[in-house]
Amino acid sequence: MQRAERRITTIAGAGLIALLLAGCGDADPADGHRDDKPKTDRAASAGTPLPLDTAARQAKYTDSDERAVDLKVAPTSVKRGTTADVAHVHLDDDVKGMVPHYLTVSVTNTGTDTVDAGAAADQFALVLADGTRGRTMSFYNSNPLASPGTGPLETCNGTKAPVKLPPGQTATGCQVVMLPKGAKPSAVSYSDDAGTRTWKVKGGDDADSGLLPVGKPAKTTWRDVHDKDFPLTVTPKNVRKVGPEALAGYDLHDDQKKADFYFVTYEYRNDGTTKLYPDMDEAVVLRTEAGRTVEKMTLLSMGSSGPKGCESAVPYGMVPAGKTVRQCGVYLLGKGDKPLTATFTPSAKGARTLTWKTS
């Protein structure tokens, strides 16, 4: 029996990050220092509302007691803040200069029992047009004596869904999500046991000028296993969804069988002057509506060039100068999630990542 392994990861920094919220108001005089100018009255924007689909969707959430919970979930608003909102916050270097966005969501218990649904609000994400997920932030105050501020950051940070949710009741939660300066969110996503749901943010899809059209060839540089640089032309040929029967003969786990399978085919032309070993398919990942970055499955088999319909030409041979090789990979997405972009990250130093729309 042939084996299959899977790797599905989110992009670096997509998880919850604890940051230090600089103290406001008077410090404890016992430490020899006192701040006579409270900062709670600082000016702050109210946030700019972004047009958003807010229709409630049915969800199936597993709570901390391993019970399947019926919920209705929806984003209720997305507001764009300003960098001034976080001017008093100690930020890590990789989020400095980003712009805070305030995502408010609702979770309704449609079942008959009180459930532990507090974490359901954390299943939401704010996603860009290329599938990049926003950086969800968590804040804590270093000065327990400080009065909370009244700006949108403090208001959002203080709006947390209660842990216990009685039948028929609705809870509201808010996330502070950091996006790169100038970036526009394209969608809000929610993922749970029943799959992925998305809500469009109007105007977000207009911010994809850096994406390559479907199937457009692009030139780059590839560094091979011997640390030699090769000029390379990369062309995505297709991204297509297939059924689990396409992997007949491979030993899949139960959770893998429930997911959605995609075949992703790329073509590479060796524009160099010597033979090239074709390991370029390892540099291809999908980015999805849920803001997930999905790597190629590792399929273990003997004497096979891949599943039927996803064979790789010359998978173990060398690619002569001026010739092309076509390679196909299998990608496993959460149920209901869909690919937005396919990216190729060259191994050569200084070569930029290439990103194509998938449709």
Of 340, 213, 321, the closest CA to residue 271 belongs to 321
Which pLDDT belongs to residue 61?
Answer: 86
What band does 25 get if pLDDT is binned at 50, 70 and 90? very low
Which pLDDT belongs to residue 260?
Answer: 93
Instruction: Classify 69 as helix, strand or coil.
Output: strand
**Average pLDDT value for residue range 45-72:** 87
More confident residue, 149 or 257: 257
Mean pLDDT of the chain: 82
> Of 61-65, 184-188, 263-267, where does mean pLDDT reach its minimum?
61-65
> Of 82-91, 120-129, 220-229, where does mean pLDDT reach its minimum?
82-91
Strands 17-21 and 135-141: parallel
d(CA 47, CA 226): 52
Which pLDDT belongs to residue 192?
Answer: 85
Of 250, 247, 223, 174, the closest CA to residue 346 belongs to 223
Which pLDDT belongs to residue 222?
Answer: 96
Residue 182: Cβ-neighbour burial (10 angstroms; 0-12, 13-18, 19+):
exposed
Structure tokens at 29: 């005089």
Residue carrying structure tokens 């300066």? 181
CA distances (Å), origin 125, targets 91, 145, 165, 181, 187: 20, 32, 21, 18, 8
Query: Which pTM was predicted?
Result: 0.80
What band does 145 get if pLDDT is binned at 50, 70 and 90? low
User: What percentage of the chain reaches a pLDDT higher than 90?
Assistant: 51
Residue carrying structure tokens 């200069």? 97
d(CA 177, CA 79): 10
Which pLDDT belongs to residue 90?
Answer: 83
Which pLDDT belongs to residue 143?
Answer: 57
More confident residue, 136 or 249: 136
Q: Please report the DSSP string for 10-56 in residue order.
A: EPTT-S-EEEEE---SPPPGGGT----S-STT------EE--B----
